[in-house]
Amino acid sequence: MDVPMWVWLVTIGAMVVILAVDLAIVDHPWSKKSGPKEFGLKQAGWWAAFYIGIAIIFGFGLWYFAGGTVAGEYFAGFVTEKSLSVDNLFVFYLIMGSFAVPKRYQHEVLLVGIVIALVMRGFFIAIGAQAINAWSEVFYLFGAFLIYTAIKIVRDHLKGAEEQEDFTESFAVRMVKKVWPVTDDYHGARLTVVRDGRRHVTPMLMVIVAIGVTDLVFAVDSIPAIFGLTQDAYIVFTANAFALLGLRQLYFLLAGLMDRLAYISWGLAAIMVFIGIKMFLHALHENGVHVPEISIGLSLTVILGVMTITIIASLLAPRPKEATAATGGPAGVDGPGEGHREAGSEHPESVSRGSSPD
């Protein structure tokens, strides 16, 4: 699809405006005296529905102006990237719990994480589009990478690797700690404070660093997946952008279900394998081998079917009693995030798992 530069600029500008309105409405209704308010479930639900609604409207707009094939590629890409974004939320959920982020500041951290993710994915989309145009054999590489990623997802799920990972001691976080001292407590949403004449960073900055590195890893995983469905850079970008918009609202909406979506990793792995096979077939076809290609209609049907079955099976599965009994609620939402002391608060002092022992 040949997209004029002005359409790109209007699309990007519209998304910036949407994020600005989101920031103004969601984050503004608080005073300096009371501080930011916690993100409510009802508020999250309305905003999540709004973002999914504008993504669907955009898809129908593509259908009207560019035809059903283009719209089908967009919807397949959007559903895939939205599914992978839910996987992002699981890791964000664990990072929030690891650093004991107070609930009232979690939506600010998520907003920064989404902006970083958009920048990262835009960068990788540009690289991926150039690579595909210059070398069609890159589909073999992308396909093999997706199948490898699927195997890794299942293996990590079976081993419980994500739950065992200590995000407070990741390489990037350790590097920051070597350069600046880290305070023991949060100071509102501030990233740095001055103590005894020396600049200190707060655990809030550590959380953002950890989420930024996670965004980089997920960008590497997700971009090959959508290029397996469409090679149109505009569709790749818009599907990714609409999948990421509203992610923080979805985080709070799904927070209570995080421990219930037990089979989400299996569904994502199945989608990765399916798209990887689709890429191999497309690469063979591009190189003159007469093999059947998987249509975008079949791709959309498989992706929607797999995610529907995965979610239903997860919700019908018995709830893990150990997790509920151990935490008394979702980690990092009503658990460790609420028990962390902010500087100057009346809560009993506690030390962040993300702080330095300086």
* pLDDT score at 10: 93
pTM surpassing 0.85? Answer: no
What CA–CA distance (Å, rounded) separates 330 from 255? 7
Residues 264-293: b if buried by 16+ CB within 10 A, e if exposed: bbbbbbbbbbbbbebbbbbbeeeeeeeeee
| The pLDDT of residue 263 | 79
Mind listing the pLDDT tens digit of every residue in the chain (358 residues)? 778 899 999 999 998 888 788 777 665 544 444 455 555 677 777 888 888 999 999 999 999 999 999 999 999 989 888 887 777 777 777 787 778 888 777 777 877 877 887 888 888 888 877 777 777 677 788 888 888 888 887 787 777 655 555 566 666 677 777 777 777 777 777 778 887 777 888 888 888 888 877 777 777 777 788 888 888 889 999 998 898 887 777 877 776 666 667 777 788 888 888 888 888 887 787 777 777 778 878 888 888 888 889 888 888 877 655 444 433 334 444 433 444 444 444 333 333 333 333 4
Which helix (H) or strand (E) covers residue 305, if one does? Answer: helix 296-316
3-state SS assignment for residue 193 = strand
The pLDDT value given to residue 121: 80
The pLDDT score that the predictor gives to residue 64 is 92
Q: Where would I find the beta strands (DSSP E) of the chain?
A: 192-195, 198-201
Please tell me the predicted confidence (pLDDT) of residue 304. 85
- pLDDT recorded at residue 355: 38
Q: How far apart are alpha carbons 111 and 86 in whole angstroms?
A: 15
Count of CB atoms situated within 10 Å of the CB of 17: 10
pLDDT reported for residue 9: 93
> Which two structure tokens, joined as six digits, stand for 109?
């951290």
